[in-house]
Amino acid sequence: MVHIGLMFIGFVLILLAYLVGIEKLTWLLSGFNQRRVRDNEKLARIVGVYNLLVGIVLVILSFLFSDSSEEAGIGLALSIVALGYVLLAIYVHATMVDK
């Protein structure tokens, strides 16, 4: 069996990686004022790559955590992903956003 929730989130993140990383639709990123970002190209590349990696990992995990008895592993994986997004937002705000 496959964990449908993780797979769905993974595919949504892969789609977001394409839209942000390739199509440069940075307006999809909440919390960023595009006029204050110094380098939209770099922002799109960084966020796109991170979303792609996380999406692929979640799709792989959807096959590993197939039954509901492994919800602790799913919670840990999603917590690590959330921490990664927080660290990514801190990095982008510190290095790429005008004060």
Please state the rounded mean pLDDT for residues 2-26: 93
Q: Kindly list the domain boundaries of the chain, sorted by start residue.
A: 4-96
Report residue 94: phi and psi, to 5°.
Answer: -75, -35
d(CA 75, CA 72): 5
Tell me the per-residue pLDDT of 36-95, one tens digit each, with 9 for 90 and over. 888 889 999 999 999 999 999 999 988 887 766 677 778 888 899 999 999 998 998 898
- Residue 52: per-residue pLDDT: 97
Residue with tokens 């927080």: 86
Residue 30, pLDDT above cutoff 90: no
Rounded to two decimals, what is the model's pTM?
Answer: 0.86
- Distance, CA of 74 to chain centre: 16
d(CA 13, CA 4): 14
- Residue 17: per-residue pLDDT: 96
Residue with tokens 């979640």: 58
